[in-house]
Structure 1
Amino acid sequence: MLKRVAGTLLAALSIGALATAPAHAIQADFTGIVALNNCSGSVVRPPAAKDTDPALVMSNGHCVKFMGANEVILNQASSRTFTLLNGAGQSLGTLRATKLAYATMKDTDVSFYQLSQTYAQIQQQFGSRALVMNTTRPAAGSSIQVVSGYWKRIYNCRVDGFAYQLKEDVWTWRDSVRYASQSTCNTIGGTSGSPVIDTASGRVVAVNNTANESGGRCTLNNPCEVSQSGQVTVRSGYKYGQQIYNIPACIGAGNQFTLTAAGCTLPR
């Protein structure tokens, strides 16, 4: 679970290895992707954001820390840094946060850092654009790509379905997206926080966060699915992400999180 870097991983098995995408799909690159010291992330913008708004970096809540099951962080000062990549996965420079705008591991596993630079300033200084957040659910069977800034690797996957609840250790996530377990979708530690990009639109539809690694039942590194009727299903080897289509409703003018906004369903 919580697929940030843990222990020692063999970089030679993953850095720079790009799986082959379907010919009809939009091939993602590393534009807008960032590397954290322990995870992956991306510079994202809600569809209504302005170029003059302070930019946001999205990652996982567990990339901030292993948070309490009901913990929510809002507008906490932060100076965390991120390495911004170009399309080829090479470093363009460093971005710095001014605050942790939002983070939680309740119902979802997501974090948003607000940066010291606007989208326009990042474009002017680095020639880099942000990834646009989608406001609709991904469809079952659709082609997606998980783009890891930490490993500089792109994983080609397919939406296998959705989990009503995903339970792992003390955490419960809702309406998680499940990726088909296939050779090109073998995400590893360090891919936590990677954007999940729909290849038809090029927009971000989820944030990668966990996988059932060894067939365990509802334990750390082995999440289980719980249906609406309470039936528990274990899918060994399958990967999961948290949908983000509902989050733009929580982001208002100036990219400020407003959890009381109409349509906002994020925990508070």
Structure 2
Amino acid sequence: MRKPLAAALLALALAGAGAAPAVAAPAVAGTATVTAAPAATAAAAGTATKDRTATIQAVDFAGTVSLSNCSGSVIRFPNSADSDPALVLSNGHCLETGFPGPGEVIVDQASSRSFGLLNSSGTRIATLRASKVAYSTMTDTDITIYQLTRTYAQIKSSYGISPLTVADTHPVAGTAIKVVSGYWKRIYSCNIDGFVYRLKEGDWTWKDSVRYTSACNTIGGTSGSPVIDNATGKVVAVNNTGNEDGERCTENNPCEVDASGNVTVRQGINYAEETYQIPACFGVGNKLNLNASGCVLPKP
């Protein structure tokens, strides 16, 4: 989570992107996810059929963004309107003012942060700007949601780019996914290996995290990358961390804790935070309402 980007660049230079250890990056560095595509991800998941394969969505860079230290994406929810102010999703640890502390929740914080908007080929075609941090936390999950100064309709009219839709249902183990890094302009493929009751890293604990299969290796710069379901094209999680050195529950070395308190360390395995619970917390006009029915995000 906190690996300096300079170290990640050195690792890339010495070992190559595919050999770099998986890890999520700091607010000053970011987290890059580098994933080698399995030969038959859908088949490996045991869910592929000819009919389902025919409906697989093409996943590219359109709608993703690059931050100064991380990756992200322009998102909408199932009930968002084209006239709503657009939103950008990234990690809590990518917040420009520093990591939110354990138990800290930030809402409606002024921000003028800029984002590089990418087209389908990964070319930066525009700069978008935040009007505020709508929500940010590293408690239970690891997310920052920025509200932009432009609406979805304005972005579509100016640049031909539509937002990515956040799924409002829990992801499924075995699902073939892609992690799309706007920072690195790279797309990496693997599967959802399973879910972690509690993922603990340093002072932070996250609930019901996504564990990738080993093909997804993350390095500095892909923190905040959308995790996209190949079959639906929807965002099901946001990339955030991985165990780099095999240490137990330390920064850059998250550990898995089950419901009985048993701890498992998986060196080289990487993780994301689910996003299905977010849509219930945003209502008409993409306004945050942490008291809305079904909203379970932590409150300030």
Q: Which runs of 5+ in 1 are unaligned?
A: none
The answer (yes or no) to whether the contact 1:59–1:112 under 8 Å persists in 2 is yes
Q: Post-superposition shift, 1:8?
A: 4.9
**Residues 10-51 of structure 1: per-residue CA shift (max 9 Å, x gap):** 567459x98557584434100000000000000000010000
Distance 1:227 1:8, change over 3 A: closer
The answer (yes or no) to whether the contact 2:60–2:120 under 8 Å persists in 1 is yes
Distance 1:244 1:3, change over 3 A: farther
SS at match of 1:7: helix
Task: Give 2:211's aligned amino acid.
Answer: R
**Residues 44-64 of structure 1: per-residue CA shift (max 9 Å, x gap):** 000100000000000000000
The answer (yes or no) to whether the contact 1:150–1:191 under 8 Å persists in 2 is yes
What does 1:195-234 align with in structure 2 at a 5 Å threshold? 195-234=226-265
TM-score by length of 1: 0.94
Distance in 2, matches of 1:255 and 1:160, equals 32
Task: Give the stretch that moved more between structures: 49-58 or 230-239.
Answer: 230-239
The reply on whether 1:137 has 2:147 as its aligned counterpart is no
The answer (yes or no) to whether the contact 2:248–2:254 under 8 Å persists in 1 is yes
**Greater fraction helix:** 2
**Residues 103-146 of structure 1: per-residue CA shift (max 9 Å, x gap):** 00000000000000000000001110000000111111110110
Q: Which runs of 5+ in 2 are unaligned?
A: 18-31, 43-52
The answer (yes or no) to whether the contact 2:8–2:220 under 8 Å persists in 1 is no
The reply on whether 1:112 has 2:145 as its aligned counterpart is yes
Number of aligned residue pairs: give it.
265
Equivalent position of 2:24 in the other structure: none
Distance in 1, matches of 2:100 and 2:174, equals 32
Distance 1:6 1:47, change over 3 A: farther
The reply on whether 1:51 has 2:82 as its aligned counterpart is yes
Distance 1:249 1:40, change over 3 A: same
Of 206, 213, 227, which residue of structure 2 is paired with 1:180? 213
Equivalent position of 2:7 in the other structure: 7
**Residues 64-115 of structure 1: per-residue CA shift (max 9 Å, x gap):** 0222011100001100000000000001110000000000000000000000
Seq. identity, %: 60
Distance in 2, matches of 1:230 and 1:73, equals 29
The reply on whether 1:243 has 2:274 as its aligned counterpart is yes
TM-score by length of 2: 0.84
Distance in 2, matches of 1:2 and 1:32, equals 26
The reply on whether 1:63 has 2:98 as its aligned counterpart is no
The answer (yes or no) to whether the contact 1:4–1:38 under 8 Å persists in 2 is no
Equivalent position of 2:28 in the other structure: none
The answer (yes or no) to whether the contact 1:4–1:191 under 8 Å persists in 2 is no
